[in-house]
Structure 1
Amino acid sequence: MYEDALIILNKDKKLKKIISSVGECKIRTISNPFEALIEAIITQQISDSAGKSISLRFKNLFGTKYPTANDIVKLSKNEIKSIGLSRMKAEYIFDISKMIVDKKLNFKIFNDMSDDEVIFELTKIRGIGKWTAEMYLIFGLGRLDVFPLGDLGLINGMKKLYGLENPTNKEILEITNKWIPYRTIGTWYIWKGVKNFQFV
């Protein structure tokens, strides 16, 4: 799979430079679907470093194991908020945990759905927008052809790499459509390029 992805992605000469600098793609998927979704909510609209810090404090609330939905609903929303989350995110996490406890959300249903179907179902839930659903597709389900157009860091990286000033969504998609069916891997390389190389 990785070799097939490189054949396609290396046709993009600008992306090829990032691939050569970064090396092998190592996307870390999260085997626990609940954790994958909660991590996506925690990291909404904040920097990578802030997200990692808050995620660690969240885990530390519960000891060594990642909490279950049952663990979370035993806390108050203020206790969840205390580790640096906004009030709204604390509510989202609590409410989603309650849905699981009440058997109103079953992650197994997503396994056989298309990407669009997963996004459609997840965005029915309060606190989950398209970006969060896309992060779940990438890091929870390991889907290979996701391009999160609403990711600011990703779009800024695209602007730098391709010399774009104020690109339209159409212009961005014209570039990334050439990466199909491995847009997730292309996205990962752009993220890495922004973080480690600044495309210099």
Structure 2
Amino acid sequence: MESRIELTLTSPEVVHLCAADPILGALIDRVGPISQRLENDGFNSLASAIVSQQLSDKAASTIWGRVETALGGVTPESIIAADTDTLRGAGLSGSKTSFLRDLAERTLDGRLDIGRLGALPDDDIVAELTAVKGIGRWTAEMYLIFSLGRPDVLAIDDGAVRATVGWMYGFEGTASRDEVAFIGEPWRPYRTAASLYLWRGLALRRAETKAAR
């Protein structure tokens, strides 16, 4: 069964955010309801996140599709079985090939038990995941949000989140990590919902800017 994060203007998370921060509340009113699908395949989600690093959404989707085709499905076993030329031929860099192999090896030998991550606190999950080559805090936080649906994750390392906070709150340019963390304190314990609205808000602003040209 597909899992989703469902946010409406009457959801407890949204009611709290609107009351705690009128500026964010105004953005929420403009964006409206959000329905975010969660990725139930933990390994697939992490592998996709590694492949997508530092790429546009379009480029990431293209390369991920090539990797899936080349491997006949992305699993720990298929990654280990594939030779380097196959992975590189799908568009992966040498470093990302190494990162995927490390993720696969750790999954197969039990150093990373993806199935038990859901039972751990957020900080422990981040610690487990960042032990894998190529997985930093940002990737771990994306896993918390988009795979586990954890409710209180603020992606302060995310460029889009920082850009949205920058223009919403009148900064000259992108907000810093510390500025986002400070502004986001009143959003607890629903900072995941805030992050989702910040991402949608930036997309909305870009669309409005393009339409106005």
Shorter-chain TM-score above 0.5 = yes
Q: Secondary structure at the match of 1:96?
A: helix
C-alpha contact 1:144 1:181 (8 A) present in aligned 2:
yes
Structure 2, unmatched stretches of 5+, are 1-5
Deviations 1:129-187 (A, max 9, x none): 11111111111211111112111122112111211126443322121111111111111
What's the secondary structure of 2:34's corresponding residue? coil
> Among 24, 28, 39, which residue is 1:30 paired with?
39
Q: Which of these residues, 57, 61, 65, is aligned with residue 56 of structure 1?
A: 65
1:25–1:185: 8 Å Cα contact kept in structure 2?
Answer: no
Q: Does the alignment pair 1:107 with 2:107?
A: no
1:120 to 127, 136, 145: 127
> 1:132 corresponds to which residue?
139
Residue 94 (1) aligns with residue 101 (2): yes
Asked if the contact 2:162–2:177 (Cα under 8 Å) also holds between the matched residues in 1, the reply is no
Cα deviation digits, residues 12-54 of structure 1 (max 9, x gap): 2222233223221222210011011112212222222222222
Q: Could you tell me whether the CA contact under 8 Å between 1:69 and 1:98 is conserved in 2?
A: yes
After the TM superposition, which of the residue ranges 44-53 and 154-163 deviates more from structure 2?
44-53
Whether contact under 8 Å (2:161, 2:199) holds in the other structure is yes
- Secondary structure (helix, strand or coil) at the match of 1:26 reads strand
Tell which deviates more after alignment, 144-153 or 54-63.
54-63
TM-score, reference length from structure 1: 0.89
Distance 1:79 1:174 in 2: 45
User: Relative contact order: is structure 1 or structure 2 higher (C-alpha 8 Å, sep ≥ 6)?
Assistant: 1
Of 12, 16, 21, 1:8 maps to 16
Counterparts in 2 of 1:14 and 1:77: CA distance versus 1, 3 Å: farther
Which stretch of the first structure deviates more once superposed, 145-154 or 99-108?
Answer: 99-108
- What is the percent sequence identity of the aligned residues? 32
Counterpart-to-counterpart distance in 1, 2:85 and 2:195: 35
RMSD: 2.0
Please point out which of 16, 19, 22 is paired with 2:28: 19
Asked if 2 retains the 8 angstrom alpha-carbon contact of 1:78 and 1:90, the reply is no
What letter is aligned with 1:107?
I
AA aligned to 1:13 is: P
Separation (CA, whole Å) in 2 of partners of 1:197 and 1:53: 25
- Contact 1:77 1:94 (C-alpha < 8 Å) held by counterparts: no
Instruction: Name the aligned partner's letter for residue 186 of structure 1.
Output: A
Distance 1:60 1:20 in 2: 41
Count of aligned residue pairs for this structure pair: 198
Kept in 2: contact 1:119–1:134 (CA 8 A): yes
Return the offset for 1:69. Answer: 0.9
